[in-house]
Amino acid sequence: MGFYWQFSVKKDDKGRITIPGEYKEVLNSEYNGCKLAITHGFVRQNCLVVHPDKVWVRKIQKLLKSKEGKKNPRELNILKRYLMSNTYLKQLDNNGKILIPQILWEKIGVNDKKGGREIIIVGNFDSFEIWDAKEWERYNQATKEKIEKSFISEADLEIFEKLDVESITTFEGEYEDQNI
């Protein structure tokens, strides 16, 4: 299944956010309601990354066994120390909320302790990210522009804009009879 889509939630006065029902369902069905590893510094973007603890452990083990890690054990230890010291393990409470320490909020620019701040939770398949809403909007817009400039030609954009759901459905249906 995995974690998909983006959801807007509010941070409360205690630093908690409510995890979307779709994500709670994945956590319960695929990970038996495990603890969550909330970390900063795992990615370069200004967000917190949340992994089910089993996924986090697998990623750290893979890092420790990597060729680069074996070539540079000193650098690997520095990275491991940084990641572990910036990772907080916590389980959802009975209301589906998770408490995030203020120090982690501050690392992504959410310095106010009062509640009501809009936060965006973004799915990233085997993890999800926690963003300040304004930061997410800036990042998402910049990414969209970068994709349009780098990967998609003007001709492709024009073709894409002309497509609609009906034409895609018709196109897919043409192949059903040919067993492709």
- Cα 19 to Cα 23, 26, 121, 149, distances in angstroms: 7, 11, 8, 34
Options 3.30.70.100, 3.40.1550.20, 3.90.1310.10, 3.30.365.10; CATH of 6-133? 3.40.1550.20
Number of helices (H), then strands (E), belonging to the chain: the values are 8, 8
The residues of the chain that CATH labels 3.40.1550.20 are 6-133
pLDDT of residue 140: 92
CA–CA distance, 85 with 40 (Å, rounded to integer): 9
Over the stretch 11-37, which tens digit does the pLDDT of each residue have?
999 999 999 999 999 999 999 878 999
Give the mean pLDDT of 113-126: 90
180 has a pLDDT exceeding 70: no
Q: What is the pLDDT of residues 122-156, one digit of tens each?
A: 999 999 999 999 999 999 999 888 887 776 666 66
Residue-wise pLDDT tens digits, 38-95 = 998 777 888 999 999 999 999 999 988 888 878 888 888 888 898 899 999 999 999 9
Q: Return d(Cα 70, Cα 113) in angstroms, integer.
A: 42
3-state secondary structure of 113: coil
